[in-house]
Amino acid sequence: MCRHCFGGFNPDNPQPTPVVPAAGAGCPEAGVLNRKDPALFLVQPDAAIPGPLQGLQPEEIDLGAIDREILTVLMSIRHPALAPDDVRRLTEAMPEDRDLEKVDPREILLAFRASDPQQLPTALHRYVEEACGKNRHGLRSVVPLAEMAGLGAAKEAALEIVSALRDWKAGLLDWSAVPRGLLLAGEPGTGRTELARAMAGEAGIRMIEASYSKWQQPGALSRFLTAMDRSFEQARANAPAIIFIDEIDAFSSRRDADANGHNDSYDVKAITALLEQLDGMAAREGVVILGACNRLDLLDPAIYRSGRFDTVIRIVHPGLEDLAAILGQHLGDDGELINLTACAATALGQTGADCAAAVRKARMSARRSQRGICTADLRTALAGEDPGYSADDWLRLAVHECGHAIVATALRAAKADFLRVDARGGICRFRELPALETAEQMHRMRCLNLAGQAAEQLMFGSFSSGSGGGADSDLTLATQSAADQIAAFGLGSTGPVWFAPAGSNDARQEALNGLLPDVAGLLEAARQDALQILTVNKDLLLRMAEELASERILFGSGLSGKSRPSSLRTMASTR
């Protein structure tokens, strides 16, 4: 297409007015139209032919979809060294023609860029799987909104929003009765974006994707604000619509600005502009805001107050039944061949995104072996390849996790949901029981945090690095608890003195810099009490650990029957 005559493509205006130069304006391509040579113009299947070309009455030729026959020719050109039998074998392993139609041609070309032709069928099957459920907005969802699993109250809130928007469009509901917005908080992979995709797939609802990083791409603040305005204008023009602002915690908080930072002015103005958009309820009639964030504590409280986001929901990891449903949805018809309960048990503690990735990995493993997917494929993909640990290493991992469960139950501080050891290490997932945050309760939770280390010390005379390392490790949680007790809550030896907010780096630094002996004393007291509980329950610890090392997972009745309070000998008192 002549860029001089028809202009550039503007994604916000897919049907721009053609620009035809005046006679003698000197269009470099104009000579092509003055000759009788044939001209070929390529357009998307659903694109309208520009006005000037319609006057030429062009003949339209539908090239059709890419099929196996085309891929066979393309493979022979891309890999001329392949023997005809190899070409035929690889072609037969590719997706059927009806499935190839679902894949973006650019993704097919990307698959053919791989140097190893043996990887072509696997790559194409993956693109087909990802394309299934692709909706008109470009977002992909595995299942309809009503069938999503593991999202609990978040799904119910999403269904209410979709229903309210439809009723508003039909004139059955006043705009003032429509929810202002929904903010979803949770760890990456817990289904926040998938929920937005499912909402985008609902008939009659338009979804506009946005994020801090997308708005910031132009760079300057003025362009940032213009990009934000454009998203809201686009949503208003397509009402009923939902604006999905992903990773909204990237806006941070104005309370973190001290007027001295290089970017403080930029960030404060960006947050203020967002608040103005969120407040414009009357001006954005027909538009609901859906936000997603990893950490609610980093977000400016003004963003998620009532009237801007009416509902704030934390999404947690799915349970056993929900995991089985999620795996079944990703497996489709293959789910009938899989023991979903066994696979869900292996997946405990993982997210819906982890399940989707494991299904893809299991399918690739099965295709490499030229057979159908089986339960072992999926369990291996969920648990990871066997790291080759010795029996003693597996037992040490198991002892550590069982130590957490026994102490949590003995002190009635938390309820263990499951224990697991695998290639990634060990995990004890528990739910903290409701209790006021007193010095005694904080001590009980530190006992729980340090129980894994105490169990290793009891059984092996030493402990591994498993309690430390990351920001969410046992030692980190215990240390932050001790720092908060002293520096934030005034419950330490310094008395009722406040140094910094709870959970902050400042609280930790204040406690460690000036009160390190006090912090160390609180941690050591917790470890000693955990060690005392485990010592009187040593036989139970060993039995549980041996079973966990063998089975790799304990959950449900297999766990509660061993660690219930009646089977434990508990200390008479705690500090």
Q: Which residues are catalytic?
A: 401
Tell me how far CA of residue 506 lies from CA of 255, 294, 442, 476, in angstroms: 15, 21, 19, 14
H helix runs in 298-350, sequence order: 320-331, 340-347
Rounded Cα distance, 14 and 47, in Å:
9
What's the one-letter identity of residue 284?
Answer: R
Ramachandran assignment for 150, one of left (phi > 0), alpha (psi -120 to 50 degrees), beta (any other): left
For residues 544 and 554, the answer to whether their CB atoms sit within 8 Å is yes
- Is residue 542 a contact partner of residue 459, using CB atoms and an 8 Å limit? yes
The full length of the chain comes to 575
Rounded CA separation 217/282 (Å): 29
What span, in angstroms and rounded, lies between the C-alpha atoms of 245 and 506? Answer: 30
Question: How far, in Å, CA of 307 to CA of 59, rounded?
Answer: 56
Residue 328 DSSP label:
H
Distance (Å, whole) CA 301 – CA 252: 10
To 10 degrees, what angle do helices 474-487 and 439-449 make?
Answer: 160
- Determine the longest span between alpha carbons in the chain, in angstroms: 100
Whether the Cβ atoms of residue 158 and residue 198 lie closer than 8 Å to each other: yes
Torsion, Cα of 236, 242, 243, 245 (10° steps): 170
Contact 252, 300 (CB under 8 A): yes
